[in-house]
Chain A
Amino acid sequence: MQISINGNDKNFDAETMSINALIAHMNLVGKRIAIERNGEIVPRSQFDQVMVCQGDQLEIVGAVGGG
């Protein structure tokens, strides 16, 4: 599948995977992040259930320094 993460297209061998699996794949385990899938926030409690698939648009954000 091809999905868009933070505006970049990414290809995966799997046809679908859970958000948790994706986080592991992206080396983001343990990082404080929030995720939006196709414009909708995915609550952390649902990272195991929500699946990403072909064409999905994801935003993965964190807190950074700012004024």
Chain B
Amino acid sequence: MNEKNEMNDALVIAGKSYHSRLLVGTGKYKDFTETRAAIDASGAQIVTVAIRRTNIGQNENEPSLLDYLPPDEFTYLPNTAGCYSADDAVRTLRLARELLDGHKLVKLEVLGDPKTLYPNVIETLAAAKTLVSEGFDVMVYTSDDPIIAKQLEDIGCCAVMPLASLIGSGMGILNPWNLQIIIENAKIPVLVDAGVGCAADAAIAMELGCEGVLMNTAIAAAQNPVLMASAMKKAIEAGRESYLAGRMPKKLYSASPSSPTTGLITGNG
């Protein structure tokens, strides 16, 4: 891919262009210094954050995530992690919008149970409807069900983000065929969110034609998070270029070697 194409190959979400197709979470790191180092190594421009009760009457000089990841350097993607109902998710994101000065881009996730963290798509659909009607740009986490993904698009979500496998599992892409159907049907960006375990998983997601990948645990829970963040950056770029380049067709065998079949020294002519 030449430089011009590379520059043109932007990820566009809700009308804004991003050169990085890797979106990262900010949880589970040892400390904020490691968080920042990993995010720098990942090259990510969009970072997810959670909305939680502020510590009251505790250490007032306690460092805050925003000190390490200033909102003017990154696009914040406030999430609804930990919400199990549409009402809680909507309430959380209204607070997020107020917190971030009217910021509209959000990640909706409504979970079904605390054991598996599997998404509750019924509540997700309900919350998406409300949020879209209130003017939010909704990137929505969901199962890998192509029908639900399409319904979320029809509601007006700006990106649909099916799981590769369950949150924090690191199991990789368990149903590439469903992801392919979702990508084929979608007119909005499809990003894989959750389940990626290693760089190969991220590359495969991109080769399937995903517009991007969102991950947290794969980086934060690696033995060396900063190095894994760098690996993920390269995997996303490699996977994207591989997708754009178009792979050779698969054949069981070809009888067409890469080296010339003539001029062999053992030949007779």
Q: Which residue of A lies closest to B92 (CB)?
A: A61
Q: Which residue of A lies closest to B76 (CB)?
A: A63
Given contacts A63-B50, A64-B65, A66-B79, contact A26 B57 (CB under 8 A): yes
State the A residues within 8 Å of B (CB).
Answer: 5-8, 26-28, 31-36, 41, 43-44, 59-67
Q: Which of A26, A41, A63, A67 contacts B56 (CB 8 A)?
A: A26
Does B54 count as interface, using CB distance less than 8 angstroms? yes
A43–B96 alpha-carbon span in the complex (Å): 12
Query: A63 touching B98 by the CB < 8 A rule?
Result: no
Please name all residues of chain A whose beta carbon is closer than 8 Å to the beta carbon of B217 when the two chains form the complex. 67
- Chain B interface residue bracket vs A: 35 or more
Query: B53 touching A60 by the CB < 8 A rule?
Result: yes
Q: Which residue of A lies closest to B81 (CB)?
A: A66
A28–B55 alpha-carbon span in the complex (Å): 10
A14–B79 alpha-carbon span in the complex (Å): 36
- The 0/1 profile, CB within 8 Å of A marked 1, for residues 63-103 of chain B is 01110000000001011010000000001001110111000
What are 7 sample pairs from A and B whose C-beta atoms fall under 8 A apart? A27-B57, A34-B99, A63-B65, A64-B27, A64-B51, A66-B25, A67-B50
Query: B98 touching A67 by the CB < 8 A rule?
Result: no
Query: A31 touching B54 by the CB < 8 A rule?
Result: yes
Task: Tell me which residues from 47 to 63 in chain B have a Cβ below 8 Å from any Cβ of chain A.
Answer: 48-54, 56-57, 60
Question: What is the CB-to-nearest-CB distance from B36 to chain A, in angstroms, rounded to a whole number?
Answer: 11
Q: Which of B27, B35, B53 contacts A61 (CB 8 A)?
A: B53
* Besides A27-B57, A32-B66, A59-B53, 6 other A-B contacts (C-beta < 8 A): A6-B56, A32-B99, A34-B95, A35-B98, A65-B65, A66-B216
